[in-house]
Amino acid sequence: MTTDELVVGEAVRRGELHARFGGTPQGAISPSPRSQMVMLFVAEQPVIDGFTGWGDDGAFHFAGAGMHGDQEMTRGNLAVLRHKEQGRAVHLFHQLRTPPEYQSRVYRHLGRFEVDPEQPYYRADAPDAYGDIRTVIVFRLRPVGATLTDGPRLPVTPLTETRITKAPEIASRPERRQPQESAGAIVKRLTAEYASHLSGLGHEVVSAHVRVKGETSVALIDLLDVTENRLIEVKHSAARNAVRTAIGALMDYRRFFHPTPTLTLLVPAAPRDDLLDLCASLCIEVVWPDSEGGFTSTHD
């Protein structure tokens, strides 16, 4: 039998598909040397949620195989990536809701696809079967001929280029300190106090969102001092873990800005000397409130 016998929109049991065309009856990716096919199966509710479905870019995004640890470009994943050079056709099937008495899952054939020639896949962070964050491979599949647009849709389509959005409206009115503040409340208060302080000096201060190429999440830059081209990360604590996390965030964000900005860490109290030395070795300014209502800076 040939893949020409597959009809777009056809509902078929998975067991019948494998009887007709070969392939393995388990897993989301089923290569079949017998019929020169790679069959991709999308669950009714995708296991790796948020990375499998139709995107706003017209491509079907398909999370690769591998339930534990970082996914690797081997076996089924490699078969998808190299399907053209191996002369295999990729066919996509979406699971339909079926009664419990059915002995085999039923799928609707969405049509034939191929990996996007310009960006065949990207990597993203997602939880594995144990809930631990790891990297997954997400293929970008383009329709070939007639296809159905049934199936899941991505809540957010990853960008093909990094985008920075400035938010000019920022809460810069200082809030009264509460006796027992949560970590979030401390960050919010510190951000507002320092924004007010900088505004009083005549600086333009905004927050910013960074959408990184290939990512669905949005990173928030607490404060951006436009006047001095300075990125400011705000933490609720001056403890080592908080300082190290802030350093990672600042180093990550800096590479997306041109010209290269200077870096500042804002914390509620002076960090220990060794942490100040760590920040100084990386040319990161550290700022904290002083007893007179102002701010102390390691660059003063």
Structurally, the chain folds into a number of domains equal to: 2
**Does residue 61 carry a pLDDT above 90?**
yes
- Residue percentage of the chain with pLDDT more than 90: 70
Q: Do 66 and 126 reside in the same domain of the chain? A: yes
Q: Do 142 and 229 reside in the same domain of the chain? A: no
Q: Do 134 and 177 reside in the same domain of the chain? A: no
Give residue 17's pLDDT: 93
Q: Do 122 and 191 reside in the same domain of the chain? A: no
Give residue 178's pLDDT: 64
Give residue 170's pLDDT: 62
Would you say the pTM of this structure is higher than 0.75? no
Residue 228: give the domain boundaries. 163-297
Give residue 1's pLDDT: 40
**Does residue 3 carry a pLDDT above 60?**
no
List the one residue out of 94, 115, 116, 83 whose CA is nearest residue 17: 94
Among the candidates 147, 176, 198, a domain finishes at 147
| Average of per-residue pLDDT across 20-37 | 93
Q: DSSP readout, the chain? A: --GGG--TT-EEEHHHHHHHH---SSSSEEEETTTTEEEEEE-SS-SSTTSSEE-TTSPEEEE-S-SSSS--S-HHHHHHHTTTTTT-EEEEEEEPP--TT-SS-EEEEEEEEEE-SS--EEEEEEE-TTS-EEEEEEEEEEEEEEE---S-B-SSPPPSS-EEEEE-----S--PPPSS--HHHHHHHHHHHHHHHHHHTT--EEEEEEE-TT--S-EEEEEEETTTTEEEEE-S--SHHHHHHHHHHHHHHHTTSSSPPEEEEE-SSPPPHHHHHHHHHTTEEEEEE-TTSSEEETT-
Three-state DSSP at 146 gives strand
CA atoms within 13 A on the CB side of 193: 20
Q: Is 71 within a domain?
A: yes
List the one residue out of 211, 220, 69, 59 whose CA is nearest residue 139: 59
Instruction: Quick: pLDDT tens for 180-222.
Output: 789 999 999 999 999 999 999 999 999 998 888 777 777 889 9
Over the chain, what is the mean pLDDT?
90
**Does residue 177 carry a pLDDT above 80?**
no
Q: Do 8 and 129 reside in the same domain of the chain? A: yes
**Does residue 21 carry a pLDDT above 90?**
yes
- Separation CA 45–CA 63 (nearest Å): 13
- Please name every residue paired with 159 in a beta bridge, in sequence order, or none if there are none: none
Give residue 211's pLDDT: 84
Among the candidates 147, 181, 214, a domain finishes at 147
Instruction: Quick: pLDDT tens for 100-156.
Output: 666 678 999 999 999 999 999 999 888 888 888 999 999 999 999 999 999 999 988
Residue 134: CATH number of its domain: 2.30.280.10
Give residue 227's pLDDT: 95
Q: Is 152 within a domain?
A: no
21 vs 214 pLDDT, higher one: 21
Among the candidates 147, 173, 205, a domain finishes at 147
Give residue 167's pLDDT: 74
